[in-house]
Structure formats: structure tokens, C-alpha cells
Structure 1
């Protein structure tokens, strides 16, 4: 899967890992201060990396069964301890009586209401590995429920409360010690098929889903629903409990699985939705013959229907994410979103069993919509310049997480009748009240082929139109990942603007949110129209009297890193400095280094040795490394050595090329980071070096 706003998912995973404390010295861990809410003071109103890492990170707002309470979590960061800690809060449905109900040094994750709202269940590593715990709604009487060897990754209680579904890693394939028992300390891996690594890990374990009986205090009679099958459930690398669902009668589990391994897995995105009968242990494939991603099943409240997200074409991970519904009595499937030219990114059933609320990004703003399964009408519920991330139904309202480029997640109540919203949580009010955020402007810029492109312009705080400012072109990753109203703790556009820059963030060709045609254009055209779009955006903004056209920079990560490398050889002296993170430098090497081959085959057209394929030959002819002879501008490279999606060798090649060309260059390598930068001190380091580099060359 691509570098999408999977960023948010990966960030959450990274924070959980940082906060678990598995590798800490036990004595140091017990003596370390509790990580909690920041009390940072900001004298000049300007964001710094330290301010950015002071925000509380709000997530997982869950409504109680009687719709009276909201349960949510906040992750806090300690730069000094280089770790995080997540605490739980509750408040009334109107936002009143907000209380912190946990205060521990071990994070509480995946919290939900159980036992008809009389208890809260959550994951904690308090006993040494992630296990299910329960407590009262006020945080008292914590009790460990599970004792699963090695810990679990996620869980879900059955509607009747008599069973628990949980996710646990199982051994995958043979280890070297299985083949040579007399070499138990040998570190070498013997590899004979593809998919031996994935994004950030070597694949020696895969997740399986288990069902256990639950007597109210402990688990028993555990059953692996994929017993003996070598497949992931949920799917790596980002899938969680959202890829499984209980039927309302607690008799059936719907689950997501791609029943492939090795090279077949590496070449295909064809996952399916299966029904598992708990009593008979029989499995039924609901989506046999549907060839793309089919994920995230959800039963209607009456159990008569099941909905899921579906892509049409095998191998195309950025295909339109459609909303499908099946009548479980007749087997009839309905493409509810066939007349809607945008992705369905999150969905929940309405209580009427005839409609669903969904989240979709349209023109770089992510809103909530209502979809009627009979008429196939999809109508907006919300509007405004922001992104809704997820929501829970609470009677006549939705309780939703919402953010923008100028505010991290907070919780809002959305009236489903008129779309009016009320902010319920104010976790970061004390910090935001001290900050001066730059103006965010929506601008539609003409492209070279006569279209209009939405481009976000972010101005520095205290912007003075009579002054001239350096500007940075922000290149998005993905490549199919919208430049929406996202809030990031690394690629934060307000943070960049606070450094004293005009930020130019185009929604160039190849991004969803502007219709399928706009999104699909980039495949097979790397180095083509999307690069012209980038240059159109920076050229238009550079004409403004407040922009210093002689001090332009360019930056991005992943495909944005590819874009930065490519523009370094094709910018006709527009830019005075570049910075690329985790970028693709050599497409031929990338084709043989990456793991998800379906991505390279679809977006590049296939292998570079296929000389008869004009699409592939055009793709590889546009590899950034083939334009190094035109590099003439300072460039900085950053990369993580545990990045198995785009190997760190790509960054090292780019650095070496720049050095050999005699171009001023710098490299920041993170030996312990992946495609992302998850550890707090590394995040601060990245932000400081980002500013130092561009200030050196643009100020």
C-alpha cells in the first residue's frame, strides 16, 4: 500500500512502540517522570519543533452504548525520555464533565465500552506484553483479562459479550534455527520467495485472528479462524481490527484476507471478505471474482446487510475505493458509490439500516457524507476547510475527529440534519491560544494542459505583504495521496511557514479528491504532467510581489522525494535548494528493491527489462538518476535505514552523486527509523536540520 494518509496509521503504530518501554532499563523506567500534558510557554507566538511536539494527540473517540458518554485517548510526548504515553479521558456527550480516567506510565490503547457501558476495555503492556484489561468508567478496578503468550495487537468483544476476537502474531515460515538446530545464534535469514520484508519489518511473523470464550473475567477455548492457513488476517502492514466485524447475533465473523503468499502476494492486491461461522467453523467467500482490494466489512444493525470498501482492479492499489453493500439473504451486491467520483475512506451504518455515513475527500477537504443504499444518492453532511478523520454515531449526531492544517485533532459533534458542528474537546487550547498560525489560502492555478489545480498557500505568521519571503514547494508522497487539510508531526506546513517561508502545496496530477481521471493520470507518467503541475504552481506564486523568486526551495518525501530528485535535474535554475526524504532516486534499482511489486508494475508499467513496453521505457527514462548530470543546486537527503519500502541505499546513492558532482550536500541518516520518523528526538532533529538547511541557502 502507498505512502498515503496511512501516515496517520503509521504514526499511531510508531507512538505505541515508542510508548511501550520494552527496551528501557526497568529501574530507569520506574524512576522516569510520568509523561503527561505539556505546560509549554510560547513568548513570541511562533511554532518551533519543541512546540510541535508539545501537542496532545487526540484519537479514538468512542460513544457509550446509551449515547451519553464519549471515551477517547490523548498521546503525550516526552522529548527528554524519547517516548510517548497515552492516557484515557471521558466526557458527557455535550462535552461537559471532561475527566482524565487514567494516569499511568504504560499507554492505554484501543479503548472501547463493553458490558453495556459498565466497563471499559483497553490494551496495556502493564504486565509486560500487550494484553486486554478492563476497568470501571472512572478508571478504577483495573483487571487483566487476557494472558496470551507474546501479547495481542487488537481485540473486539462480541455483541452478546460471550466471546472476544483478538489478533495475535504467529510464526511464519522456517527460521534458520529450524533448518540448522545446532546454530541457534546464527543471524542469517535464508530466503527463497518474495515478500520477505514489508515496509518496516522482516516477515517472520504474520497476524492471525482468534476467537475465545469469555466468562466475564478470563478467556478460554481459543480458536484460530485461519487455523493452518499461512495468510494474514488482518493484512499487513497497516490492517487492524477494523478489517474484521461481528454479526449482530454474535454467530458470524466477517474478515478481510488476501489468501496468497510469496510472489503471488507481491504481485496482487486481490483481497476478499470472508464469513466465518463460529459454530460450524465453515468459511464463505463473499467477494469471489471481485479482483481488487476488498476490506473493512461492517454489518448493518439488523444483520441483513454487510458493507465494505472495494477496489475494482487487481494490482491497482490506488483504484477508486467504492462502497459496496450485499443483501445477505439474496446475495445481491450493490455499488452504492457508482455515481460518486471520489473515494469512500471510512463508513458506519445508520440506525435505519438503509443508509451509511461515510468520509470522503473532495477537492482537498475531507467531509462526512450520507449514502442511501437504495437510491445510491450520496449527499454531503458537512462543509468547511478541514478534514474529518473518523466518527461514531450517537443518535441524531455524529461524534467525530477533525483536524486542519492549523489545528491537530479535536472532537466535534455533528448534527446529521443540518451539518452544524460543536467543538467538544479543547485538548490543545492552551498551546493554540499562544500561537500565531499562518493564513491558509486556497488557490486554483492554471496547468499547462488547460485545467485548474487546487494549491494551498500557507503564509508565515505575522506576514507582511510589503516584504519579500523565500518560498518552498511542497511535493506530496503517495504518489496518490491528497494534499488535504492534513495535520502532520513531520510534514507540518504551518511548521515550515513558521520558519519564515511561503509554502506552496499543489494538488498535482495523480491525487485523489478531484475525480478518478485526475487521480489515474500519473500512472505510467512519472516525470510527466505532474511535474509540469508542480512547476506551474511555483511559477505562479513566484510572481507575487511578496515572494523572492531568487530564493525558492523544494522538498518532499517518498514520491515527494522522487519529485524533489527529479526536479533537481529539470528545474531550469528555478530553485536554490532541495531536501528529499525517503525518496526514489534510481527507478531501476527501486523496482528490484521494493516489496509490493503490484505497485511498481502498475505505476511504472512493469519491469525495466521489458524493452517492448513503451510505458515502462518512458517511466525508467524519467528516473531521477538519469538527470544527475544537470544537478547544479545544493541538496540535502534524509532516510531511515529500516525503510524496506524505499531502501536507504536510494538516499545514499543520491548523496554520493551530489558529492561526486561537487554540489553542496548533506545527508541525515536514521539507523533506527523506517519510512517515517517516529522517535521524538529524531523528529526534533529532523525539524532542526530542515530549517538549518533551507536557512543556509535561502536566507
Structure 2
């Protein structure tokens, strides 16, 4: 860590070193990782690849080459790193882990931007290699820097799916490229260097795309010494109205002699939804993946499937199957890993606001057993020793590495922030509560975060944070976008509820939000406000603010028109829904079609029932609207319409926009401005000092323009 903070502010959050998941060597004694740090003084980001020696707790530099990423082990003594090259290329740079700077060399060049590097040992200093990179319609590597440029900027579309997330859809597609990297046999052993073979597009001519944009990555494919498994959207269905994702297997008898082996589709009858986490066992004989039943529902329950023999892809075991099709294991796993001996499956799954680790036998005859909980586990790496290396984070610590075993013994190997101490944070700030939900028999779980200077005899204003999704949840996890602790350190008690629709509390609780957007979740949140007012003595609900993004932004607009809206001093909507009809401008139309049980014209009543714009006559609470131009999921017209309504009605309001951001605000300078505007807005309305006035004035510099006539009343 390069900073020590006495107060955790947005600038500390955004300047703090961000450490990747760890990549352990064979026995977990050394850990590769990348760490990036942003300097607001220099307005630049620095990235390093480092190696941690677990026994001495010392960290050494591998490389600080600009853009270096994805370190992988070549055995236990060499490292392979991806580094951006000239003209949009990607270099594979190899070197000795103990002397990388002086021993590194270029093992190969990929003539495009490449990522998601995977290596599998083939023996004799040879490794199978897989990377992902864009392919043009001919199946060749696509490099935007060298591709011919059109003289016109026009784009003509003749079917759905014009835009996705923050880009216009083109004819180029993600693809998986296979090859080998091995030591040259023409040199003596003392001077032998690794060399990359020519790469082959494993998806050429198939019409398939993997990983699936915008968020698919290494979880959508895997390799073994004898094959490839991957997930791809069903090519017969339009991705704007369908979520169906198929799983495919490709036999690779010899990575040195890659042939035109065609992918074989794995049939899973009765499961027509999305599939993910496709993994091959280390011995290459078995495979596993997750799949959903319902097409068009991206938050359906993930269920586990195992292929006992990849040579027989038609033999698929539905693990924990039940007669009702919902599965006998109540949780929805989000990731799978095989043990090194190919006998055990490790599953990551949300449960009650945490991401936990479970283990199960490969035959999946017994339900998974919990072996680790607490915080949010982001990645696991099973070791040859039988232990599991775990990368995790929490509300107060942005990166912790653990070693755990099947006896549930957990050893902390490294904490990036000394368990929050480097930020001035502690576990004492994190609490939990729950209250009876709106639906009979339900409980709404919530995280409660208090300031580091908390005194139970004092009263604190309330910051009520509503999550997005809506099928999502507030977790005991770190975030640089919506970090509850940042709000707490301004002097709030922060309550983060997981109302109806949230994940990790059973699939029925998640599913219950369908056609209930402003119904059950709103009532859960309203009941929560009453619960806080009655049960939490150190909260002053007369000085309350509420904030939310995406579905949380929808809820802010909905609350503004309801009785609950009058109980808040100020509201903040980030990229939220103003008008339900406006959702026809979104890219993934299957989402509103599922949520409101049909299209706008087949079930107009449901679309209009939960439309925030229906209640604009009630809007009265001061309201900040944030909406960025590259948000193609919820278009900027939604934010402008809300702001225009507030202005015309003469309600105190502000509008913040970023032309270069999507559904999220990711660039550090933009994020600092976001935090400054949001905190200044809510602090002003509850009587706390503004964030900008308490920060060093020379540090809060921005090129933001304040447009329009100040104080204009309409």
C-alpha cells in the first residue's frame, strides 16, 4: 500500500491500489498479481505486475510496463505476461520470476488486442495456449488500428441488436484462439526461450461468438490438454430478445496440429436459458457448467451440470435435480472450479449478502458443503496440495488472499489494506439487521454501516441506498462505484436493504419481483424506513436521503411520486428509469419483456402500472439526476426527462452527465467529480459539511461546466 488514510474519502477510495485476484504457483508459496494505482496529482495510472512470497510476506516487482496484465506461470520459475504492443497488437512477454527485468523477452506477438490468457501444461516445457480476440467476418484477427476505415460514418441495420451496453454492434465477433507456447529445441537448455506458435481460430466458420459480450470473459471457455469447452449465444435466436446460451465441446487431439474439429453442441433438454462457467477437469476427461431453465430471464437460477466423459457429450448429469425443475440445492452458483485431482467441484454462490465457497463430489450425489463464508469471494485456484487459494474482498478490505482446506481451516496470506486499517476502517463499522417483508413470511436483510468515529449516544442522518438489478444485492464486498463506507465516513448511518427481487435469499424471493417493480420492493423499503425509525436509536430519520442506480434509480423516481418520497430531504437517481415506454429504446429487450410479462403492446397495463412518470404530479423532493451518454441500456433521454420534469415543476434539482461514460462511471477523474457532486448534494440537505469544502481545494479540480441560468424559476 502506498497510502495511509485517517479518513476514508472518495479520493482515498479512488487512489487506493487495486489488486487483482491472485495467481498462485503449484504449491501456493508464491502469488502473482497485478496492482494499479491512480494519481490525482499526476492524473495518471500506474500498473505493476508483482509476485508475493508468502513465507516472507515480501512483494517483488515483475514488470511495470504500461498496460501489462494477466500474469501466468510457465512452470514455477517463469512468468508469461500480456503487454500492449504497437498498432493495436499484443505481446506475450516471458521471463524468469526472480529476474524478470533482465531476463524477459518477447515470446510472441498477436496481431490484435488479446485477453483472457489461459495456459495448460502439456509436459516437456510446453503449454497449450488460449486467448480471446476479435475476428472479422472472414474469421481472421481484427485489429481496429490496421483495419480499413470507412469513408462514411453511417451504419445500416436490418434486424434487432443495434447497440449493446456502450457500443454499436458490428460484424466482428469475439473468438477463441488456440496454439502452444514451448521452449525452442534449436537452442541449448541454458539459452532456450519460449516461443508462441501460430494461433488458430477455434470458432472460424461456425457463426458462434465467445466470450459473450459485454461481460463474458474467461468464465465462458476453458481448455484441457485434449480439448476446448465454451459457451455461445444460440445462433438461431436474436440476442436482443433471447438469453439462450449453448455449451459446445471441441476435441483437440494435438495442440501442435490443430485441425478443423467442429464444436459439438451439448444438449440440455428443458434448459433454454443462459449457460456459463464452462470448465474442463484438469485430466481433460470431464466437464461441468451452469445453466438456466428460462429463455429471456437473465436472473433465473443457475443449476449445475456435469459431463462425466467429454468423449460422450450427450451424457449429461443434471446435478441436484428435482421433480419441479427448480433443483434440490436452494442456491444459485455463479462459478465452478475443479480440484487438481479432478475428483472435487468447488462452487461459488451468494448466500445472505455474502459470496461463499462450497465443495461437492464430481458425481454430484450429495448436496454441496459450505467450506468458507464471509466477505465476497471473487476467485479460487485449487492447488495440487489439495488446498484452495482464495481471492476475496469485503466492505472494509479491497483485497484479501486466503488459503483454505477441506477441513475449513482458513489462513490469511495477505490483506491489501491490513484488514481495512490502512483506510482507517474496521469491522466494528459493519452491522446487519432485518425486518418483516411485504410478502407474508419474508424477511428483508440489510447491511448497516456506521462511521469510524461512531458514538451510539449520538444521532446520525440516514443514507438509504437501493441496489440495481433489480435481481442483485448488496454484498459484504468492496466497490469503487457505490461504496457504502464512503457515505458513512461523511457522517451517515448507511442502510443497504436487499428487498424482494434480491439474489442470495432463495430463487422464489428473486422471482417475486416480476410484475412488481413498484409493488413488493417498494413496500419492503417503506417498511424498512419505519423499522429504522423505530428500532435504530442512533439514526435521525428526519434527516434522511435516498440514493440508487439503475433499478435503484428507477426506485428513486418511483419513491419521488409516492408517500415515502416526502420523508427524504433529498434523492439521487443514477441512470434510472423515468418512463416504461422508454425501455423500448434499450438493447436487451428480453429484460422488460420478462419483467412485465410481455411486450408493451401485449401487456400495456403492467408496463404502465409501474411507470414512475405516471406520478409526476406528486414530485416535490429535491432531486439530483445523473445520466451518461454512452448508457445504451437506459438511454440518456430517461435522465433528461426526469430532470426536465423537476425543473419545469420548480423543484430544486441538478443534472450531472458524462459524455464518455456508460451505465457506470469508471474513469477516476469522472468518478471523483461524481462523488463530489453527489456528496455535496446530500450533505447540503441534511446539514453536513460539503465534501468539496472539507477537501483540499487544490485537489478538487474539474473541467466540468455549469451550464444554464442559475436560480431560474419556472
Using the alignment, how far apart are the partners of 1:594 and 1:364 within structure 2? 29
**1:325 corresponds to:** 306
Q: Does 1:629 pair with 2:617?
A: yes
What is the rounded CA distance, in whole Å, between the counterparts of 2:119 and 2:403 in structure 1? 26
Shift of 1:650: 1.0
Q: Which residue of 2 aligns with 1:32?
A: none
- Distance between the aligned counterparts of 2:615 and 2:107, measured in 1? 59
TM-score (norm 2): 0.85
The verdict on how the C-alpha distance between 1:679 and 1:280 changes in structure 2, with shifts beyond 3 A counting, is closer
SS in 2 for 1:424: strand
Q: Deviations over 1:526-578 (max 9, x none)?
A: 11101111111122112333222221111011111111111111134111210
* Rounded Cα–Cα distance in structure 1 between residues aligned with 2:423 and 2:179: 50
2:340–2:386: 8 Å Cα contact kept in structure 1?
A: no
Structure-2 residue corresponding to 1:576: 569
Separation in 2, partners of 1:460, 1:424: 28
State the match for 1:509 in structure 2: 500
* C-alpha contact (below 8 Å) 2:576/2:634 kept by paired residues: yes
Q: Write the mapping of 1:352-371 to structure 2, written as runs, cut at 5 A.
A: 352-371=341-360
Which has the larger displacement, 153-162 or 564-573? 153-162
Change (3 A) 1:68 1:405: closer
Counterparts of 1:496 and 1:600, CA distance in 2:
31
> Residue 340 in 1 paired to residue 329 in 2?
yes
2:117 & 2:281 partners in 1: Cα distance?
Answer: 20
**What is aligned with 1:52?**
13
Deviation at 1:620, TM superposition (A): 2.6
Give the direction of change, closer, same or farther, for the CA distance of 1:546–1:158 in structure 2 (3 Å limit).
Answer: closer
Q: Which residue of structure 1 lines up, in the alignment, with residue 476 of structure 2?
A: 485
SS at match of 1:193: coil
1:562 and 2:554 correspond:
yes
Change (3 A) 1:50 1:169: same
Residue of structure 2 equivalent to 1:145: 107
Deviating more after overlay: 47-56 vs 541-550: 541-550
Alpha-carbon displacement from aligned partner over 1:408-462 (angstroms, at most 9, x marks no partner): 1121112321x23222123323972451456211112112334221111111221
Q: Match of 2:708?
A: none
Match of 2:117 among 142, 152, 155: 155
- C-alpha spacing 1:183/1:334, structure 2 compared with 1 (3 Å): closer
Deviations 1:194-230 (A, max 9, x none): 2121111112232111223445444344321221344
How far 1:476 sits from its partner (Å)? Answer: 0.5
| Other structure's SS at 1:151 match | coil
**Would you say the 8 A contact 1:483–1:507 is kept in 2?**
yes
Q: Determine helix, strand or coil for the equivalent of 1:117.
A: coil
Q: Which has the higher contact order (CA 8 A, sep 6+)?
A: 1
User: 1:311 is matched with which residue?
Assistant: 292
For residues 658 and 225 of structure 1, the distance between their equivalents in structure 2, rounded to whole angstroms, comes to 53
CA distance in 2, matches of 1:172, 1:579: 44
1:434 & 1:295 partners in 2: Cα distance?
Answer: 36
Corresponding position of 1:170: 135
Matching residue within 391, 394, 402 for 1:412: 402
Distance 1:66 1:413 in 2: 11
Pairing of 1:27-38 with structure 2 (within 5 A): 38=2
Structure 1: any 5+ residue segments left out of the alignment?
1-36, 174-180
C-alpha separation in 1, matches of 2:55 and 2:454: 35
Q: Contact 1:299/1:306 (CA < 8 Å) preserved in 2?
A: yes
The answer to whether structure 1 residue 200 and structure 2 residue 193 are counterparts is no
In the alignment, structure 1 residue 500 sits paired with structure 2 residue 500: no
1:132 aligns to what?
92
1:294 is aligned to 275
Matched, 1:692 2:680: yes
Q: 1:135 to 1:620 in 2, by over 3 A?
A: farther
Q: In the alignment, is residue 237 of structure 1 matched against residue 214 of structure 2? A: yes
Matched, 1:272 2:234: no
* TM-score, normalised with respect to structure 1: 0.87
Equivalent position of 1:212 in the other structure:
179
Task: Give the superposed CA RMSD.
Answer: 2.4
Q: Structure 1 residues 81 and 66 mapped into 2: Cα distance closer, same or farther (>3 Å)? A: same
Equivalent-residue separation in structure 1 for 2:280 and 2:409 (angstroms): 28
The DSSP-based 3-state class of the residue aligned with 2:544 is strand
What whole-Å deviation, never above 9, does each CA across 1:116-156 have from its counterpart, x for those lacking one?
A: 22321121115453332222212232222332223213322
* Structure 1 counterpart of 2:157, from 164, 182, 191: 191
Secondary structure in 2 matching 1:578: strand
**2:187 aligned residue:** none
What SS class does the counterpart of residue 534 from structure 1 fall into?
A: helix
Native 8 Å contact 1:364 1:482 kept in 2: yes
Moved more, 508-517 or 293-302: 293-302
CA distance in 1, matches of 2:21, 2:274: 25
Q: Secondary structure at the match of 1:517?
A: helix
**3-state SS in 2 of match to 1:380:** strand
Instruction: Indicate conservation of the 8 Å contact 1:83/1:680, yes or no.
Output: no
**2: distance between equivalents of 1:484 and 1:39?**
25
Cα distance, 1:622 vs. partner? 1.1
Q: Which runs of 5+ in 2 are unaligned?
A: 139-146, 184-193, 253-258, 321-326, 688-714
- Report matched runs for 1:531-546 at 5 Å: 531-543=522-534, 544-546=536-538
Partner of 1:260: 235
